[in-house]
């Protein structure tokens, strides 16, 4: 996964094994940063990695 790669919500759902509403809840709560391009929501790969690292820290 490249740092500058933009992922779709469906791709993030697959990588985290979570449902669509959970991903959008994370976006709404600003725990998972995203950008909107036109009508499309995209999550930077670096933001996903940062989110996972934060969750791992929180769980430790």
- Is residue 50 scored above 70 in pLDDT? yes
| Tally of structural domains, the chain | 1
Pick the more confident residue, 1 or 24. 24
CATH of the domain at 40: 1.10.1660
Query: Quick check: is 51 in a domain?
Result: yes
Domain that holds residue 32: 6-59
- Is residue 3 scored above 70 in pLDDT? no
pTM for the whole structure: 0.89
Cα 56 from Cα 27, distance rounded (Å)? 18
Query: Quick check: is 1 in a domain?
Result: no
Query: Quick check: is 44 in a domain?
Result: yes
Query: Quick check: is 43 in a domain?
Result: yes
């Amino acid at each position: 996964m490249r740092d500058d790669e933009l992922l779709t919500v469906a791709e993030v759902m697959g990588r985290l094994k979570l449902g669509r509403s959970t991903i959008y809840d994370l976006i709404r709560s600003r725990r998972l940063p995203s950008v909107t391009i036109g009508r499309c929501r995209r999550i930077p790969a670096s933001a996903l990695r940062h989110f996972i690292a934060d969750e791992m820290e929180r769980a430790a």
